[in-house]
Structure 1
Amino acid sequence: MIEDTMTLLSLLGRIMRYFLLRPETLFLLCISLALWSYFFHTDEVKTIVKSSRDAVKMVKGKVAEIMQNDRFGGLDVLDAEFSKTWEFKSNNVAVYSIQGRRDHMEDRFEAAADFAKAHLPEALRQQLLTYEREKEREKEKDKEKDEKKETSGLSYPSILEQQILTLDREMLDKLSATYNEAGTTCLVALLSDKELTVANVGDSRGVLCDKDGNAIPLSHDHKPYQLKERKRIKKAGGFISFNGSWRVQGILAMSRSLGDYPLKNLNVVIPDPDIMSFDLDKLQPEFMILASDGLWDAFSNEEAVRFIKERLDEPHFGAKSIVLQSFYRGCPDNITVMVVKFKGKASEQ
């Protein structure tokens, strides 16, 4: 996707918000005017100092009030008031999403993401039902494991890969017909009784907290600067260049995606997922985090796991807190975080 450029007007507005209107800036202004008043004894300046002190008290009072009502973890008040947020909570899963400093919410409301949401879950559900029925029939026939594998030809990784590649072809057909250049990442976690299978396309990322509190990567970002990706892009006749970050053809900040039909036509961006499987009995996970790249601009895997581990008792299992903390740290992107709690000593699924 082509990221939106910041206009001069919005830049000036943000400078006003983040520097000139901060309580610290007003406080320094008060000190400067107070010193001027002390040495030159001007009534006008004394009046300005009093007004500035009142302004600082008002702003600090507003900060304290909002911080007390909602645990923003230091979130800038002015930004919080103008940012759009979405949230979801059900049993052991919580999601929190914020538009942040972007002009649009690309994490959720755009054609490629909408298409994936509308088609991929149902396609996976149908294929998984077929797979489970085949397994049951094979159990009834009491066949050997090798014979089962030959008969079925299906597995969780193969199902995920097949459905993601099919989705991309359908998406390209639909979006290219209207010259819609939208694209999206794809991060899918498939949970069974003893195994977790994760498929990833793009730079959304998953990380798991195991029984010892370790951060276990569930995926690896697809970035143009990576050696494997760079070689593939060059072999296809493409290039990468730096434009705020390393980008394919100077445009896209990831080397794999769904959609993005102009770059797919050049074969410099591909939809092939990386798929990893994890033994749940061995890891005995406490929770996992699935998040868009906005979070990972502000947090490492280890930092994110530590942060959420300390906040699992919150209503959103820490998802809301880490999103807002990422925003406070200056993340310029949309931020979407899902936290999934697993069955274990610290949580119940």
Structure 2
Amino acid sequence: MIGDTMTLLSLLGRIMRYFLLRPETLFLLCISLALWSYFFHTDEVKTIVKSSRDAVKMVKGKVAEMMQNDRLGGLSVLDAEFSKTWEFKNNNVAVYSIQGRRDHMEDRFEAAADYVKAHLPDSLKQQLQAFEREKRDGALSYGSILEQRILTVDREMLDKLSANHDEAGTTCLVALLSDRELTVANVGDSRGVLCDKDGNAVALSHDHKPYQLKERKRIKRAGGFISFNGSWRVQGILAMSRSLGDYPLKNLNVVIPDPDIMTFDLDKLQPEFMILASDGLWDAFSNEEAVRFVRERLDEPHYGAKSIVLQSFYRGCPDNITVMVVKFKSGAGGSSKAGE
């Protein structure tokens, strides 16, 4: 009798291990819940789906790591992946970036990202310099200038990439510092967060995701749809609802380039540092976790940027990961500025 019981328990254990805990089974479960949520709009299921999406990403990361280990014949996956890095350090700014478990480095070496890097900073600098010299047009502000230049770069890039049938797209996150203000423009799901004088996390941007009510309604009005495939995607393709590039979806008007602009009072916040990062970081860290983690490592050579990138990888992030940390210095009168 005891032997039969042990055999039954062993069989149940094998079923759990080889069927219920397989990534494919988790994917099917998430898709089923997503369809239920999409058609019946039950709040309880939506909460489950969002939690399941994060769990699926972690499972995919572990599966990718095992597969990579097999391909490398036992070599350390870290040795292979961390050889594909990019880093930068200058005064109060540090950047660290890894390709991670992706086949390509889309955060940096990709047509849309390269185009924006080559054209947006210079054109933005020229318009800001002209604005500072004149400051006569009351309709202009730092926010309006950021918006104009981002939309212009997107139009120019669409013309070039569509002519080559290049469907590349990119996010855009720009933080503009003046004497007493910080102006942030965001398109897509890269994200900024600031640590104020009390160590609190202050969101500098909000992700543009298809499942958000405002974005979902806009997509539906344009004749588009969203569907769940590991994450909510526009037309079943793009996991964010706004971007630069992505010309096939722009032609359908279901993805737009319009940035959100937010302005912050530096005298009030007196920030210690800010983090600007691609979505790979935010797959593994919340805003509050990221601020706590970096704050404890501001004395490191990369102000914690390198450490948080590597920690995101260790946590199973399957994506490219790029993090910039800007360390503020206290200025006269209690205000803060990003170095000299």
TM range (shorter): 0.7 to 0.9
Which secondary structure state, in structure 2, belongs to the residue aligned with residue 337 of structure 1? strand
- Equivalent in the alignment of 2:259: 273
Rounded Cα–Cα distance in structure 1 between residues aligned with 2:186 and 2:131: 21
- Equivalent in the alignment of 1:340: 326
**TM-score normalised by length of structure 1:** 0.75
Post-superposition offset of 1:343: 1.0
Rounded Cα–Cα distance in structure 2 between residues aligned with 1:272 and 1:315: 36
Q: Give the direction of change, closer, same or farther, for the CA distance of 1:10–1:279 in structure 2 (3 Å limit).
A: closer
- Equivalent in the alignment of 2:274: 288
- Equivalent in the alignment of 2:116: 116
Q: Is the 8 Å Cα contact of residues 241 and 255 (structure 2) preserved in structure 1? A: yes
For residues 1-349 of structure 1, the aligned pairs below 5 Å read 13-14=67-68, 16=70, 78-83=76-81, 84-135=84-135, 148=136, 151-344=137-330, 349=339
Moved over 4 A (4+): 9-12, 15-18, 345-348
User: Could you give the per-residue CA deviations for residues 106-136 of structure 1, whole angstroms, max 9, x where no partner exists?
Assistant: 000010000000000001000001100003x
Matching residue's letter, 2:134 = E
Q: Which has the larger radius of gyration?
A: 1
Q: Give the direction of change, closer, same or farther, for the CA distance of 1:214–1:153 in structure 2 (3 Å limit).
A: same
Rounded Cα–Cα distance in structure 2 between residues aligned with 1:154 and 1:344: 29
Q: Is the 8 Å Cα contact of residues 108 and 114 (structure 1) preserved in structure 2? A: yes
Rounded Cα–Cα distance in structure 2 between residues aligned with 1:227 and 1:194: 34
Q: Is the 8 Å Cα contact of residues 134 and 152 (structure 1) preserved in structure 2? A: no
Q: Give the direction of change, closer, same or farther, for the CA distance of 1:17–1:300 in structure 2 (3 Å limit).
A: farther
Post-superposition offset of 1:14: 3.5
**TM-score normalised by length of structure 2:** 0.77
Post-superposition offset of 1:344: 2.5
Which secondary structure state, in structure 2, belongs to the residue aligned with residue 88 of structure 1? strand
Aligned length: 272
| Gaps in structure 2 of 5+ consecutive residues | 1-59
RMSD of the TM alignment (CA)? 2.2
Post-superposition offset of 1:12: 5.9
Rounded Cα–Cα distance in structure 1 between residues aligned with 2:330 and 2:105: 35
Q: Is the 8 Å Cα contact of residues 65 and 101 (structure 2) preserved in structure 1? A: no
User: Could you give the per-residue CA deviations for residues 43-80 of structure 1, whole angstroms, max 9, x where no partner exists?
Assistant: xxxxxxxxxxxxxxxxxxxxxxxxxxxxxxxxxx8222
Q: Is the 8 Å Cα contact of residues 179 and 337 (structure 2) preserved in structure 1? A: no
Percentage of matched positions with identical amino acids? 81
Q: Give the direction of change, closer, same or farther, for the CA distance of 1:342–1:10 in structure 2 (3 Å limit).
A: closer
Rounded Cα–Cα distance in structure 2 between residues aligned with 1:12 and 1:185: 30
Rounded Cα–Cα distance in structure 2 between residues aligned with 1:326 and 1:17: 22
Post-superposition offset of 1:171: 0.5
Post-superposition offset of 1:153: 2.3
- Equivalent in the alignment of 2:8: none
| Gaps in structure 1 of 5+ consecutive residues | 1-5, 22-76, 136-147
Q: Is the 8 Å Cα contact of residues 85 and 98 (structure 1) preserved in structure 2? A: yes
Rounded Cα–Cα distance in structure 2 between residues aligned with 1:348 and 1:219: 19
Q: Give the direction of change, closer, same or farther, for the CA distance of 1:119–1:306 in structure 2 (3 Å limit).
A: same
Post-superposition offset of 1:301: 0.1
